[in-house]
Amino acid sequence: SFVISPTIEDGKQLKAKELSEMTAKFLKEMKLQEHQSIAFVHRNQPHTHVHVYVNRINFNGTAYNDSFIGKRSQLAAERVAEKMGLTTVREVQLERLEQLLNIRLEIKQVHEKVMNEQRPKDLDSYIKLMKENNVEVIPSINKSNQLQGFRFQYKGQNLKGSEVHRSMSGSRVVMGIANHAEKSILQSQYKTVSLMGKTTELSGNIAIKLAKTVIKQAIQKSVGMEIGY
């Protein structure tokens, strides 16, 4: 059995004759044209598709070799789409990749605007300001109630901060906000922060990175004071 599934837009345009032609071309590409087959068109969903059922034994009584059939059927569908001027899976994947790259860039631009121009002094303010710019920030908190980072939801995509850009990892977001604060947002030796009205523990990974950054900054500041002295 196979499912031949054009894109939603192509499926809306294809008439019964063209769907029949598409199915016949697919069976020929698969070298199954000498086998009994039956196909059903499903239009009860937005995504028009064809279910094809084929007898594995041909008219001469020979069994069909179905090794690697998944990959072969995918390539056959690609060739049929190209011959009929339909959108291929590869084209859809490239379009989605380009769309995702644009979304990642837009989220990063909003993040940089909020951080550089509005300079939030705590995590709650950061989350609120991002939401005002249509980006929902979702704290990632594990079962031990530790903050591991943030996810960013925008235009139907839900991405980890590090997937958007490495500058948006949990530790870098927290440290960036800490640099704006008049007093440290980091508590209990850099192990907890205030988040949504609660004291939330930082994951070990974030806490270690923040502690190293704070210590490094303290050393640089101390060296600067000695030079000035």
What number is the average pLDDT over the span 90-114? 89
Percent of the chain with pLDDT over 70: 86
- Are 174 and 210 a contacting pair, CB within 8 Å? yes
Query: pLDDT tens digits, residue range 26-80?
Result: 999 999 999 999 999 998 778 899 999 999 999 999 999 999 999 999 999 999 9
One DSSP character per residue, 7-35 reads -HHHHHH--HHHHHHHHHHHHHHTT-TTE
- Are 126 and 114 a contacting pair, CB within 8 Å? yes
What number is the average pLDDT over the span 76-87? 90
Task: Report pLDDT for 216.
Answer: 57
Q: With cut-offs at 50, 70 and 90, classify the pLDDT of residue 225.
A: very low
What number is the average pLDDT over the span 129-150? 91
What number is the average pLDDT over the span 187-199? 70
- Rounded to 5 degrees, φ, ψ at 111 are -60, -45
Average pLDDT in the chain: 85
Between residues 191 and 67, the one the model is more confident about: 67
Percent of the chain with pLDDT over 90: 51
What number is the average pLDDT over the span 191-210? 75
What number is the average pLDDT over the span 81-105? 85
Evaluated on CA atoms 202, 192, 157, 165, the torsion sign reads negative
Distance of CA 3 to the CA centre of its chain: 25
For the chain, what's the residue count?
229
Token pair listed for 133: 């710019």
pTM score, two decimals?
0.58
- Given a cut of 60, is residue 224 above it in pLDDT? no
